[in-house]
Each structure stands twice: as structure tokens, then as C-alpha cells.
Chains A and B, each alone.
Chain A
Amino acid sequence: MAVTAHDSSNEHVLEVESVGFSYGTKVALADISFRISAGETAFLLGPNGAGKSTLFSLICGLFQPQTGSVTVESHTATKPSALARLGIVFQSDTLDPDLSIADNLAYYAALHGFSSKDTNQRIQTVLQPMELADRKQEKVRTLNGGHRRRVDIARALMHNPRLLLLDEPTVGLDVPTRHALTQRLRSLAATQQCAVLWATHLVDEVTEDDRVLLMHQSQLHGDDIASALMSSHNVSSLSELMKLIIKKPNAEADS
């Protein structure tokens, strides 16, 4: 399969160019390149262990690429100027369970340099669409998994990021909660006008019209609209496509 670089005439918010990263001798990412424009949502689809989380760690500046470059609106990913443009929902829970929702958000706002007054307004603004504004004084420990995820997402949106990174945001949630959260995220992505990179291994979160970056075994095996990827592989669903990619060795998958 030929990797087709998705093209967009808009300004690129995220540019990943020939990125490589290894854990010792184990290659985690090999020559990954793609771009995402403002207002665009791309799904990073791949099985567990494909390299999605490593790629996220590179984009949010936790790791430095060993080869290639990652830039956010032309700022190198590890620089504070790039981090200021990022909103991140990590795969694992990163909220302080013993602090209230408001305290968790205020801590994040302080790290982004907002004044107290501005912080209070922003907390209200981001919690409203999450239907959590009335519960902001509740401790995170008392929330269920779905509500915690909503707080995570609200926090990531507090500073109006240019790029929203969602690392398996629905993992560990039951099916109805997962579907509700997916719908909420889709509507947010449409209204926020920021670029969104959404990593998932759950094919039912992706529709045929979505842009998909297909990852497996440290490599990008495709970058196109889901329906186009399916037809180029002669499969009728994304789960079939995933099975096909997982089954085939790298060389075959790329051919």
C-alpha cells in the first residue's frame, strides 16, 4: 500500500517530519511524517503498541525526536511556545483525585499564567458544555470515569489550544459513556476550530469520512480519508482494514 500524504490547503498547525524514536534497540517510531491543519481532525488509528503514545510524547515535548522534527505552528515541540499551543488529554488519569474539579483546573490555569479572575471565568466556560459547572467544588475522587474524562477534556481546552491531542480519551469507559464522550468530542472539535489529533485503537470511534493515520509496528501505513483507505485495500470496514494491517508483515502492508 502506498502511503498517501493527506493534503490540505490550510495553514499547518502540526508538522511531523521524518520522525524516528527508539527505546534502546527497540524501534518505537520509524520515519513518521504527516501534517494537520487548523480546524482539521485526524484519527491516529492503530493497535496497542503501534507507537501512538510515543508519538504523543514527542508532540507534547516530553520526548525529543532522535531523528526528524515536530513543530506546532512552526515552534519546536519541546519549546514552551509550542507547549502553550497544546491542549492534551493523556491516556492515563492525570487529575489530582483529592483536589476539587475547580482546584485541578485552577492549577492548570496557573501553569499557563492566567490571573485568578481570568481563571474563574475560564473554569466556568469550559465546564459549562461538559455539564459540570454546578459540580466544580466536588472532589475528583468522587467522580465516575466518564466525568473524570470530561474534566480532563475541559482542562485541555482552558487556554484555547491551537492543537488538541487526545490520547485514547475513551479508554476504560463503558460503551454508552464512550459513545456519549465521542459525540461530545466531535462537536467540540467542530466548534473550537483547533486542529485535533485523536489516537485510538477503537475503530467504532472513526467514521468513513474521517481522516485516518494508520499506524502499526512503529510505522505509518496510510494517511487518507477512512473510506478511501478501505477501498484501496478492498475491505468494507475499518476493523477489516485493521486486521489486514496487523496480519501482514511491514513490507507487504506497505506494498
Chain B
Amino acid sequence: MNLLHAWRAFVGILKRELKRFVRQRERFIAALVRPLVWLVIFAAGFRAALGLSITEPYATYITYEIYVVPGLIGMIQLFNGMQSSLSMVYDQEMGSMRVLLTAPLPRWYLLLCKLAAGVVVSLLQIAAFLVFVALLDLDIPFQNIALALPALVLSGLMLGALGLLISSAIKQLENFAGVMNFVIFPMFFLSSALYPIWKMQESSDWLATLCVLNPFTHAIELIRFSLYGHFNGLALAVTTACTLVFFLAAIWSYNPARKFRANRTAAR
């Protein structure tokens, strides 16, 4: 593979994703409003209901708003990953996926470019969210953002790869609503995004176990620890492994012959 060719293809795919993102203003507003609603409204209520003890990586007692920020960053990436998945299904229906898959580059590389472009879009959304976090005067270690960047890229890749895998299994755009009910909500609520796992364990051991088994929990913990300058080996290992597994499975399942055959069957 010619590296210059590969780079130009990536830039082309990224430009297209960015243009799409800018064009879809509602998507940007929704991506911003969703976590802000949690931060401003839900957190205000939960602060009184949820007592938080000193827990890693925090050095002292923190308010609920501060606890929930890494989880909401994860939420942005989770929704963005699924949004990318939706746009892949749209591309398949509109036919533009054929243009991508007939480009003179290996298929795995083209899918990786799509994935990476989605991560860049998610980072822009996170940057906009953090501006609002700063305006709310929350005590977040903004000086560690650069340190957290690799974690944000990795978690974005993992959730994007999951979206890619899901899009390879979805035959029609109409079926996408199921993803909301069966992927996004369980992943988000069965994680450490909104409450620490020990808090969940107080209510139910098996729910806490599900939270631990949820890769999204580890992505959030990776973000949380890196944001506070700490290293979480388990979170890094799980997030890396899940990224690889989801991506390899997506490449395997992105077989147009299988896909179009399924579409033909669905169309009959």
C-alpha cells in the first residue's frame, strides 16, 4: 500500500465526515445538549441522592457533577459511534458505500479510515462539551486533557468499531431503532458512567457484575483515570482488546456479497 495514497484517502474520508457533521447541525446540538442535560439537570437531583466516598482516581470527596463528567464524555462517544453506524447503514442504502469499497485500497484500511474519521468527529464534540463544563466552573483538571487524549482516541475507536460491527449486521435503516433499545441504553446504564460500581453493588451483585463485564465501563474508567493523571491497566487492556475484537469482527462481517445477498432476501 502506497503511504501517500493511503494518507490522501484518509484525509478525503475525514473531510467528507466533517462536512457531513457540519451540515447536520441537529446532530451537533443533540450531541451537546444530551450530556449537558445530565450535567445540569440530573446531576443537580442526583447530587443529593447519591453520596460518593473517596474512590480512585479521586484524592478527595467530589461532587456528583465532577464524578459524572468522564461518563458523559463516554456518552458522547457512545452516541457518536452509533451515529457513525447509522451513517454507514445510510451509505449502504444510498449506494455510496460501493464507491468506498471499490476504492483501490485494502478494505480493512478503508474501514479503519471511516472509524478514525468518526473518532475525530467525537473529539470535536467532546471539546465543545468541555467548553461548557469550563463555563459551569466545575473543578476538572483541564491541564490533563492532553494526557487523556490517547484514552479518548482509544475509547472512541472501541465504540466506533462496535458501531461498525453493528452496521454490518443491520440490513435496513428502519431496524436501527433497535440499536437504541438494545445497545446504547443497556451499555450506558449498566456502566460506571452515572454511578460507581460499588454503589450498584449495594443494590444488586449481579447488576454490578454486568457493569464490570461491560466494555463501556472500562472505556469510561480509562478516560476517568487518565483525566486525573492515573494509569488503569485493566481498563486499558479491556478497551484495547475490545477495540481489536470489534474491529476484526467488523472487517470479517463487511463482506458485500453477504450483505447484498441479505438485502436481496430482505427485499423479496
Contacts and interface: CB of A to CB of B under 8 A. Distances in A.
Contacts of B94: 93-94, 96-97
A82 B264 CA distance: 27
Interface residue SS majority, chain A: loop
B257 A62 contact: yes
Interface string B1-34: 1101110110111011001100100000000000
A51 to B, nearest CB: 13
Contacts of A108: 99
A110 interface: yes
B104 interface: yes
Interface stretch (A112-120, A177-185, A209-217): A112-120
A84 to B, nearest CB: 4
Given A88-B102, A98-B23, A113-B8, A107 B95 contact: no
Interface string A50-66: 00000001001111100
Contact of A92 (B16, B95, B103, B256): B95
A60 B257 CA distance: 12
A99 B16 contact: yes
Contact of A90 (B12, B98, B260): B98
Contacts of A86: 102
A14 interface: no
A112 B103 contact: yes
B234 interface: no
B147 interface: no
A114 B4 CA distance: 9
A205 interface: no
Interface residues of B, number: 33
Nearest to A114: B8
Interface string A63-90: 1100000000000000011111010101
B209 interface: no
A61 to B, nearest CB: 6
B144 interface: no
A184 B220 CA distance: 57
Interface in B109-155: 110
Contact of B12 (A64, A81, A93, A111): A111
A62 B6 CA distance: 20
A62 B98 contact: yes
B96 interface: yes
Contacts of B264: 23
B12 A106 contact: yes
Contacts of A110: 8-9, 11-13, 15
A111 B9 contact: yes
B112 to A, nearest CB: 14
A141 B12 CA distance: 20
A83 B261 contact: no
A64 B4 contact: no
A115 B103 CA distance: 16
B105 interface: yes
Given A110-B13, A111-B12, A63 B95 contact: no
A61 B102 CA distance: 7
Interface of B: 1-2, 4-6, 8-9, 11-13, 15-16, 19-20, 23, 94-96, 98-106, 110, 256-257, 260-261, 264
Given A80-B106, A103-B16, 5 more contacts: A23-B264, A107-B12, A107-B13, A110-B8, A111-B99
